[in-house]
Amino acid sequence: MRRHRHAKIVATVGPASNTPERLRELFLAGADVFRLNFSHGTHEDHAKVHAAIRALEQEVGRPIGILQDLQGPKIRIGTLTAGREDLITGERVIFRLGREPGDKQSIPLPHPEIFKAIMPGQDLLIDDGRVRVRVRGVTDEVITAEVIVGGAISNRKGVNLPGTALDLSPLTEKDRADLAFGLSLGMDWVALSFVQRPSDVIEAKGLIGDRAGLVSKIEKPQALEKIDDIIRLSDAIMVARGDLGVEIPHEDVPGRQKELVRAARLAAKPVIVATQMLDSMVASPTPTRAEASDVATAVFDGADAVMLSAESASGQYPVEAVSMMNRIIASTEKHSAYRPIVTALEPEVDHTPSHAVAAAAGDLAGTIGAAAIFAFTASGNTVARIARKRPDVPVLAATPNGDVARRLALVWGAHAIRSGDVGNYEEMVERAKELAVTADFAQSGQRIVIVAGIPFGQAGSTNNLRVAKI
């Protein structure tokens, strides 16, 4: 079940892909991690999908990651008496605190935190930015605004506030219940929506502990201002370009994507690039050329994973979308420009033995033409450090911990194998050679580079490098 590429594929599960048969097809087409979107579906629905993925994992003998994506707080207008209103550019409209149905002179906005935080001159975006209004005056219960970009609004359309930091937890009561349920099932990763500040990550980590990895979704401008701290506190990040592209100018998104991928790689944390990657494949068996280029750009940037949303969840061609993404990644990584670009973006090596040994493993493997880098890891950190280097050979990760093996399904270049503990140095070398051959990563006469920490089984002790010939 070896993947002949380094970047990973995250596929969202939905009505088009939630049967055991279809999940198997998606995996065989290239899906490495399955995303369960808790904005939709019941706990029972998600439990069935989780069980089907775990059964598939047993069948194929390869760790499969499962990502729980929490909904987060949804800011919406209330209901309108007429069902919809047409806001005309230049006219004045009024938002009132409360849930009573109204019209354009009394648009209900049941979010007191907005009235406390917003200031004159700031904008409210309605319906994914299709309508934009600018605040001219605000009291405890009334916001007066001028329509800058007109259009129709209707019941419960979403509201974005790009210039306003809200005193709002990213975890609603629904999220807390969903999180408890997801952790009870055994989710590998949890994606946190609406991250604005480092304290949001700390709050979520306090609930999750070490039971799953935490992915911070970067979709708010406020998060960009504190990004180094957010990345440091997170286990991974997601470049959620949909909401981010509503709140910052479209032309700024590509540059921000590159900054975020590089910052995550610098910290040796996985980074997912998400939203509308092959969006036309929701209704078409082939993507546009621009979409293919978009996926390739994320791969050239060095992203650990690229994600499918509606394409695999509700589209007409979920398997074709995964297969297409798989082919684009593989083709991009074989292109002559790939290695020079990824190497040019390589971060400096941290001045620690663990990072230095991991970086040296990548250099050594390339110099001697090794078939693979073999890493023994208890926590997965050794593999993340090696992946930070983006070596030109596959990374085979042996771990006794099944949870760690599944989390590594998200990490660039990592192919995880469940393996028992090793007791001494020579046993480590023999085990590495044996597993490299049985997993089809090396053949007789080839060399592998072995990375481990001594004493064995102690997290954070990556300190040993060995070349072995099969």
- Catalytic one among 164, 275, 332, 377? 275
ω into residue 270 within 30 of 0, thus cis? no
Task: With cut-offs at 50, 70 and 90, classify the pLDDT of residue 460.
Answer: low
The C-alpha torsion from 308 through 311 and 314 to 320, rounded to 10°, is: -110
Does residue 122 have a pLDDT over 90? yes
What whole-number percentage of the chain has pLDDT above 90? 90
- DSSP secondary structure of 44-103: HHHHHHHHHHHHHHHHHTS--EEEEE------B---BTTSEEEEPTT-EEEEESSSS-B-
CA distance 103 to 157: 14
From 35, 256, 388, 431, the catalytic residue: 35
The one-letter amino acid at 433: K
Taking alpha carbons only, the member of 288, 269, 274 closest to residue 245 is 274
Residues 264 and 233 sit within 8 Å (Cβ to Cβ)? no
The domain limits of the chain are: 8-72+170-335, 84-160, 353-469
Q: What is the DSSP string of 325-391?
A: HHHHHHHHHHSTTHHHHHHHTPPPPPSSHHHHHHHHHHHHHHHHT-SEEEEE-SSSHHHHHHHHH--
One of 2.40.33.10, 3.40.50.720, 2.60.120.200, 2.160.20.10 is the CATH number of 84-160, namely 2.40.33.10
Mean pLDDT of 22-35: 98
Catalytic residue among 22, 48, 76, 418: 76
Q: Which ranges of 169-288 would DSSP assign to H, the alpha helix?
A: 173-185, 198-208, 221-225, 227-233, 241-247, 253-266
42 catalytic residue (yes or no): no
Residue 217 falls in the annotated catalytic set: yes
Q: Among this protein's residues, is 116 annotated catalytic?
A: no
Catalytic residue among 217, 265, 385, 431: 217
CATH of domain 8-72+170-335: 3.20.20.60
For 268-324, how does the pLDDT look when each residue is reduced to its tens digit (9 = 90+)? 999 999 999 999 999 999 999 999 999 999 999 999 999 999 999 999 999 999 999
- For the question of residue 89 being annotated catalytic, the response is no
CB atoms within 10 A of CB 105: 12
CATH code of the domain made up of 353-469 = 3.40.1380.20
Confidence of residue 441 (pLDDT cuts 50, 70, 90): very high
